[in-house]
Structure 1
């Protein structure tokens, strides 16, 4: 029996969609559009140009329905880029998600604990739990990054969580009612504010999390 990885399944799905688009009926036009949208979304981050605004992928629920696995949309505001990532593995309570060009995010319940492939990566991080975010807390964050000599440097931040009421989000043609939460962190080398939008059941629907000075903030949307 052959076992395909999620990324392999995505590639096969696009191949099948491409073949289907060779037909002559009207539906082939719609399929071709989905191929273009998803193929664009699957490819990378951090091109050399830095647009002043995010280049939206124009995803639709119809396009997402063609994917054989769940996906998240990742946005790097600083570089104006978006991509899709899919889950490729789990280690205890940490999920690893990857784009086709092998940029990976490791997350615990949606909160980023590590990245790879983003040049100035977050090597490891101690992060708050969803319970701490839901109820408000004071806590310490640590971020481990690599310096210019590829040696770890650890940054420590004192953080405060605050709740800001309900917010209705629309993510790719669907609406969600969420609780907006901020996590404001201050340390010797600077400060930042992360934002989280939590659903009533505790699911993290959207977040805007700081990765590093070079990468900047990353917005993560759950598309299921």
Structure 2
């Protein structure tokens, strides 16, 4: 599933959910129609994983089933879509869990650790990057990811990253809409390059992002459904 297809799928689905039901249709029917239309327009019947109906039903059930902060996540390389619920906070860190208990830990909207995804980020240093991104300011900073190698030894991945500011765009989600600035983080480890993007609203909250987690996992697309 290409990045553009992921973005179109989520945007079409969530915009219609935010706008309310069409006459005679439930929210689930609106969601299912929106996702199906995107699949058809791309020449696909599904995203290679969950079907349009399954994605729509998952979003609908998730929004009805909890009042906790909720996000939709897509592990692009695996065509894997899931809901993330914030189940715990520890100071500025939030633990977001999928139904199968795989977790992503985020601070200021940036992924700081993962569990259960494979080649997990055990810990990280992202504070310098987060300061630039949430302030919607340009600059250069460092980030560090820590992984376990095949012998359970901690291995550091250090990257020099350049943060640049883009234009303003509307982000429409299931429970809110926001004017956001697109911030781009371009990183170089010396052996690898990767790019992260963040949509940051006027309050400095990251409401949508596409973040690289590890060589095995690749990029994770995350959009807030309820803040």
TM-score by length of structure 2 reads 0.71
Q: Does 1:169 align with 2:171?
A: yes
- CA offset at residue 81 of structure 1? 1.0
SS in 2 for 1:141: strand
Deviation readout 1:125-173 (Å, 9 max, x if unpaired): 1113543111112111111011122211101111000011112233348
Distance 2:48 2:179 in 1: 26
Distance 1:62 1:140 in 2: 39
Change (3 A) 1:52 1:151: farther
Change (3 A) 1:135 1:59: farther
Change (3 A) 1:62 1:154: closer
2:142 counterpart residue number: 140
* Unmatched runs of 5 consecutive residues or more in structure 1: 1-26, 38-50
Q: Give the structure with higher Rg (CA).
A: 1
- CA offset at residue 64 of structure 1? 4.6
Contact 1:164 1:180 in 2 (8 A): yes
Change (3 A) 1:155 1:60: closer
* Unmatched runs of 5 consecutive residues or more in structure 2: 1-23, 33-45
More helix by share: 2
Identify which of 134, 138, 158 aligns with 2:160: 158
1:210 counterpart residue number: 212
Single out whichever of 72-81 and 175-184 deviates more from structure 2.
Answer: 175-184
2:75 counterpart residue number: 76
2:186 counterpart residue number: 184
SS in 2 for 1:150: coil
- CA offset at residue 189 of structure 1? 2.3
Contact 1:114 1:124 in 2 (8 A): yes
Equivalenced residues, count: 181
TM-score by length of structure 1 reads 0.72
